[in-house]
A and B are shown apart, each in its own frame.
Chain A
Amino acid sequence: MPGVKRRRNASPLPGLGLTLGTTILWLSLIVLIPLAAVFLKSVSDGPQTFWSAAMSPRAIAAYRLSFGAAALAAAANCVFGLLIAWVLVRYRFVGKRLLSALIDLPFALPTAVAGIALTALYADTGLLGRIFSKAGLPIAYTPSGVVVALAFIGLPFVVRTVEPVLAELSSEPEEAALTLGATRLQTFLRVILPAVAPALATGFALAFARGAGEYGSVIFIAGNMPFRSEIAPLLIITHLEEYNYAGAAAIACVMLLISFTVLLALNAIQHWRQRRSA
């Protein structure tokens, strides 16, 4: 940037007061004050009540399922997301545009619709469920169903994060590797994979954060048995239906804290990416 000074130069454009005021007001009303309500409500009956609701064995089992299934699904999406991104960036083939457009289906399809469709598909009588249950691996109404639903939801996060990075990768390091006698597979593992690793990590974190809080696509296929196939968001709803607001808020609080930690980690990864590319 030419002529950068420490002092910021004032913008001659009008509207800062109006637009910034609107932004802060709207942000506070719709997002910040409501979110603050969760934290305040969760401790409204004292720390003892908070702790027993947030850390009850049933809640722990629900966190384990929500975050564990989200991690497994995000890991699977890293493998298949990288494969799809690779194919979209490096190869030309018939139907590529359609394939690319389809990747975003989980963003556009309402989660409840995905939920009932996956359940119909993976139930013991369903097209795919039949095969799996014959093999002794029923998917619908088990924790595996949760992983399948989250794998559906998370795919575009990984593909769309890795794709642009893969597309901008310079061919020089690959050429150098070839000259030095590396095989194509060695080049992929030692040159390309490390270069897209930060993007993969970002995609993983995004898919993980989305999956951990996911509700609509999961509840139909999960079975919703306490301690076994009950996800944390469902436990929040159960508490709400029992008018146990503080209990619901306590679990929401734990989930928010974990997502915010992931968000911070994500910022750290992005920082790392920028430093590497600089």
Chain B
Amino acid sequence: MTAAGLREPKAVKALLIAAAVAYVLIMLVLPLGTVLIEALKEGWAAWWTSIGDPDARASIELTLLVAAIAVPLNTIFGVAAAWAISKFDFPGKAVLVAFIELPFSVSPVVSGLVFVLIFGAQGWVGPWLADRDIHIIFALPGLVLATLFVTFPFVARQLIPLMTAQGRADEEAALTLGASGWQTFWHVTLPNIRFALLYGVLLCNARAMGEFGAVSVVSGHIRGKTNTMPLQVEALYNDYSFVAAFAVASLLCLLAIVTLALKSALEWRHRDQLAAVH
């Protein structure tokens, strides 16, 4: 037990807890609640009609499709990068890690802009692509590229510290016992990192499905065609179709709540296997 002098008076403690809870309620919970209340303002039937609208449906399908392409690609990349960085020594490693984390410090709008500058109508290869009737900007490939950029570091950043701390003794033992490289990866490395991998994929997916700024630049905002769910929310909101906008937004809230619940569950049960540091 700590000495009484090391603790705050009961009243101070209560005040601090109350202030923290109040701040979180007003700043975070209230906006979340607002979405759900606004979405159901005209009842469940109106909510259901908004979700069932063909353009809304198309935006849901597009969001799922973009995430289904971008998340696995960045997961494979993340595992490969973490393997190279954590299991080997080579010069320039710190620079490589810094480059991998670069997209976190780039504005989402700039993340979309870079692809317009390359593939857009007046971009470097834009005219060449236009001659061949290949569409990247204002089409699915552009949305995928922008999403890949913004979700680039998620999986790698989760795995690198963990795998570095785990070292390579387990893998060396497996190889000594005659396992092949792939066998070692599947049966030794993967089980060691599975929860951290899941955690990284979870965050990567939430960002991929919810990304707005970057995809907004490359999408062209064609309803029913190139609007992802967050873009559909914006389009409906700008039309003053508030109930419909909040209805689509409420689905994204659900995604956020599920993500947070899974994330918390992983943190409580497998904290020791998520990161070896602290």
Residue positions of A touching B, CB distance < 8 A: 8-16, 18-20, 22-24, 26-27, 30-35, 37-38, 41, 80, 83-84, 86-88, 91, 93, 95, 97, 99-114, 116-118, 120-121, 126-128, 151-152, 155, 164, 167-168, 171, 174-175, 178, 184, 209-210, 212-216, 220, 232-234, 236-237, 240, 243, 245, 248-249, 252, 255-256, 259-260, 262-263, 267
- A127 partner residues in chain B, CB cutoff 8 A: 30, 34
* Cβ of B68 under 8 Å from chain A: no
Whether the pair B23, A84 counts as a contact (CB closer than 8 A) is: yes
Whether the pair A34, B87 counts as a contact (CB closer than 8 A) is: no
Whether the pair A110, B6 counts as a contact (CB closer than 8 A) is: no
Expressed in whole angstroms, the minimum distance between the Cβ of B180 and any Cβ of chain A is 8
Q: Which residue of B lies closest to A232 (CB)?
A: B107
In the complex, besides A19-B84, A110-B212, A255-B110, 20 extra interface pairs with C-beta distance below 8 angstroms are: A22-B76, A23-B84, A27-B152, A30-B145, A84-B20, A84-B23, A87-B20, A102-B28, A109-B210, A110-B211, A178-B3, A178-B5, A178-B6, A184-B12, A212-B107, A213-B105, A214-B108, A236-B113, A243-B121, A263-B98
State which residues 9-47 of B face A: CB under 8 Å. 9, 12-13, 16-17, 19-21, 23-24, 26-32, 34-35, 38
Expressed in whole angstroms, the minimum distance between the Cβ of B190 and any Cβ of chain A is 13
Whether the pair A112, B110 counts as a contact (CB closer than 8 A) is: no
Q: How far is the CA of A35 from the CA of B99 in the complex (A)?
A: 11
Whether the pair B109, A233 counts as a contact (CB closer than 8 A) is: yes
Expressed in whole angstroms, the minimum distance between the Cβ of A85 and any Cβ of chain B is 9
Q: A111 contacts which of B13, B106, B212 (Cβ < 8 Å)?
A: B212
* Cβ of B168 under 8 Å from chain A: yes
Whether the pair B206, A87 counts as a contact (CB closer than 8 A) is: no
Q: Which residue of A lies closest to B76 (CB)?
A: A22
Q: How far is the CA of A171 from the CA of B3 in the complex (A)?
A: 11
Whether the pair B268, A105 counts as a contact (CB closer than 8 A) is: no
Q: How far is the CA of A36 from the CA of B251 in the complex (A)?
A: 37
Q: Which residue of B lies closest to A220 (CB)?
A: B237
Whether the pair A252, B110 counts as a contact (CB closer than 8 A) is: yes
Residue positions of B touching A, CB distance < 8 A: 2-3, 5-9, 12-13, 16-17, 19-21, 23-24, 26-32, 34-35, 38, 76-77, 80-81, 83-85, 87-90, 96, 98-100, 102-110, 113-118, 120-124, 145, 148-149, 152, 168, 171-172, 175, 181, 184-185, 203, 206, 209-213, 216-217, 229-231, 233-234, 237, 242, 245-246, 249, 252-253, 255-257, 259-261, 263-264, 268, 278
Expressed in whole angstroms, the minimum distance between the Cβ of B25 and any Cβ of chain A is 9
Whether the pair A11, B168 counts as a contact (CB closer than 8 A) is: yes
Q: How far is the CA of A194 from the CA of B17 in the complex (A)?
A: 22
Known: A128-B30, A164-B278, A255-B107. A31 touches B230 (CB 8 A): no
Whether the pair B106, A256 counts as a contact (CB closer than 8 A) is: yes
Q: How far is the CA of A193 from the CA of B12 in the complex (A)?
A: 17
Whether the pair A14, B181 counts as a contact (CB closer than 8 A) is: yes
Q: How far is the CA of A112 from the CA of B219 in the complex (A)?
A: 15
Known: A97-B268, A243-B122. A23 touches B256 (CB 8 A): no
The 7 tightest CB contacts between A and B, nearest first, are: A213-B107, A110-B210, A34-B114, A216-B212, A215-B213, A14-B181, A233-B109
Whether the pair A86, B31 counts as a contact (CB closer than 8 A) is: no
Whether the pair A245, B116 counts as a contact (CB closer than 8 A) is: yes
- A245 partner residues in chain B, CB cutoff 8 A: 116-117, 120, 122-123
- A113 partner residues in chain B, CB cutoff 8 A: 35, 210, 230, 233, 249, 252-253, 256
Q: A19 contacts which of B80, B107, B242 (Cβ < 8 Å)?
A: B80
Q: Which residue of B lies closest to A234 (CB)?
A: B109
Whether the pair A32, B99 counts as a contact (CB closer than 8 A) is: yes
Whether the pair A240, B116 counts as a contact (CB closer than 8 A) is: yes
- B110 partner residues in chain A, CB cutoff 8 A: 38, 213, 233, 236, 252, 255-256
Whether the pair A37, B87 counts as a contact (CB closer than 8 A) is: no
Q: Which residue of A lies closest to B171 (CB)?
A: A13
Whether the pair B210, A30 counts as a contact (CB closer than 8 A) is: no
Expressed in whole angstroms, the minimum distance between the Cβ of B107 and any Cβ of chain A is 3
Q: Which residue of B lies closest to A88 (CB)?
A: B20
Expressed in whole angstroms, the minimum distance between the Cβ of B127 and any Cβ of chain A is 13
Q: B16 contacts which of A91, A112, A126 (Cβ < 8 Å)?
A: A91
Expressed in whole angstroms, the minimum distance between the Cβ of B178 and any Cβ of chain A is 13
Known: A38-B114, A109-B253, A256-B106. A13 touches B261 (CB 8 A): no
Known: A110-B210, A214-B107. A97 touches B264 (CB 8 A): yes
Expressed in whole angstroms, the minimum distance between the Cβ of B231 and any Cβ of chain A is 8
Q: How far is the CA of A120 from the CA of B9 in the complex (A)?
A: 39
- A212 partner residues in chain B, CB cutoff 8 A: 107
Q: How far is the CA of A159 from the CA of B61 in the complex (A)?
A: 35
Whether the pair A8, B89 counts as a contact (CB closer than 8 A) is: yes
Expressed in whole angstroms, the minimum distance between the Cβ of A205 and any Cβ of chain B is 10
